[in-house]
Amino acid sequence: MAVARRFKHGVVRYDREKAYEGYTLFWQTGTKDAWLIDMLGRVVHRWRMPSNPGMDGVLLPNGNFLGSCQTVNYVEAGLPPGFSGLGGLLLEVDWDGNEVWRCDTPYMSHAFYPLDNGNIIYIYWGPDLRLQGDAAARVKGGLPGTEHNGKYIWGESLIEINRQGERVWEWRASEHLDPDIDVMCLLEYRTQWPYTNSVFVMPDGNVLVSMRFINTVAIVDKRSGDIVWRWGPGELGHQHDARMIDNGNILIFDNGAHRRTYGPSYSRVVEVNPKSNEIVWQYKANPPTDFYTATQGGEQRLPNGNTLICEALMGRLFEVTMEGELVWEFVNPIYGRQHHHGLVNSIFRAWRYGPDYPGLRGKELDPAKFYWTNEVYGRVVWNK
């Protein structure tokens, strides 16, 4: 795998019997293109968006693509170092790329969650939520004296909007976090707290969030705003993408960056039972160092029990069984340019949709439509 990710591109492994067959969606970092590929890595559809991703995009059950577009140039905007993943515009386009709906969402960051009623909850890192003075001094951890411009710690909220673009709910993190518990990683700048990077609405309506700088995944009570469950410090290292699965457990992408120990870096995907706070399943590579992305990344539990994993900075998507066997592996052959990382084939987040997914019903999914693209990028090199 260490070799595959450097020297091979396309689908490098595919076990037809064990993989969950479907189509995989990803919006290539540093480009305007969101791609839908089949199990052989061939492009079957593409959406060209007006800007680079910021950062996620999903296929809705109605067949439309909903994505967060990056409209802010945050190098010029004077934002703190380490700020990343900003969006700015939520855009829904139909299968052919025609605009269906848009909403300006300045200072939106990383991720959003579309609710069944059409509303959307997104993560907001706004200047109006900056802490300073005593409020900033209460925040513990981080590298001393590294506040933005010497005084600010940027704050965050979750915002729910309806299809008219009106705010119908907001949850401000700093009002509900406990500075004595939610202590920042000691090696991060004190520029923002707590660096929320994923949002997921659970079946009971409460909201599951991942907060990177405090190595914590938490459940927010939607009505009271209270944090009713926390897990992660000591276990997680700057995790991403917390989501509840059908059995009530929580899947987390544990990046392992700034992990509290000295040793080889590795990422893992963990399944945690929120009742017992125990890890009931995890995937680590062998050797562990073969699967590592310091930032970004995500996972998805598939209907057959497999897990699709996005090793973001390596541009590698792969599917593992519950036993940890690798049954499908794709190394992104498409490169884009991103200000933080330079030339990259990285992928923030990827989604697998089964052929019976409503959003794919009646759609033309013929790789021949992308003959030249597939000739250039889609060479199948798996050998099973």
Which residues form the interface with other proteins (CB under 8 A)?
2-3, 6-9, 81-82, 84, 143, 185-189, 238, 257-265, 285-289, 292-295, 313-314, 340-346, 379, 381
- Please tell me the distance from the alpha carbon of residue 258 to that of residue 216, in angstroms, as a whole number: 13
Nearest distance, CB of residue 304 and other proteins, angstroms: 26
Nearest distance, CB of residue 289 and other proteins, angstroms: 4
Nearest distance, CB of residue 322 and other proteins, angstroms: 19
Nearest distance, CB of residue 331 and other proteins, angstroms: 11
Chain center to CA of 1? 22
Nearest distance, CB of residue 332 and other proteins, angstroms: 11
Closer to other proteins at the Cβ: 165 or 234? Answer: 234
Is omega for the bond preceding 303 within 30 degrees of 0, making it cis? no
- Please tell me the distance from the alpha carbon of residue 228 to that of residue 221, in angstroms, as a whole number: 6
Nearest distance, CB of residue 139 and other proteins, angstroms: 16
Nearest distance, CB of residue 121 and other proteins, angstroms: 25
- Please tell me the distance from the alpha carbon of residue 291 to that of residue 2, in angstroms, as a whole number: 8
Q: CA geometry: angle at 156 spanning 128 and 336, to 5°?
A: 105
Residues 379 and 42: beta-carbon distance below 8 Å = no
DSSP bridge partners of 143: 189
Closer to other proteins at the Cβ: 2 or 115? Answer: 2
Closer to other proteins at the Cβ: 70 or 192? Answer: 192
Nearest distance, CB of residue 249 and other proteins, angstroms: 25
Closer to other proteins at the Cβ: 22 or 336? Answer: 336
Residues found in the chain? 384
Closer to other proteins at the Cβ: 148 or 222? Answer: 148
Nearest distance, CB of residue 132 and other proteins, angstroms: 20
Question: Helix (H, G, I), strand (E, B), or coil: what is residue 86?
Answer: strand
Closer to other proteins at the Cβ: 348 or 353? Answer: 348
Nearest distance, CB of residue 294 and other proteins, angstroms: 3
Closer to other proteins at the Cβ: 52 or 346? Answer: 346
Other residues' Cβ atoms within 10 Å of the Cβ of residue 361: 11
Q: CA geometry: angle at 225 spanning 102 and 74, to 5°?
A: 45
The C-alpha R_g of the chain, in whole angstroms, comes to 20
Residues 282 and 240: beta-carbon distance below 8 Å = no
Closer to other proteins at the Cβ: 81 or 133? Answer: 81
Token pair of 309, please?
Answer: 């994993």
Closer to other proteins at the Cβ: 276 or 286? Answer: 286
What is the DSSP secondary-structure string of 132-175? Answer: -THHHHT--EEETT--BTTTBBB--EEEEE-TTS-EEEEEEHHH
- CA 186 vs CA 171, 213, 241: distances in Å: 26, 9, 22
Torsion angles phi and psi, residue 127, rounded to 5 = -65, -25
Closer to other proteins at the Cβ: 131 or 185? Answer: 185
Residues 18 and 306: beta-carbon distance below 8 Å = yes
Residues 9 and 333: beta-carbon distance below 8 Å = yes
- Please tell me the distance from the alpha carbon of residue 134 to that of residue 99, in angstroms, as a whole number: 45
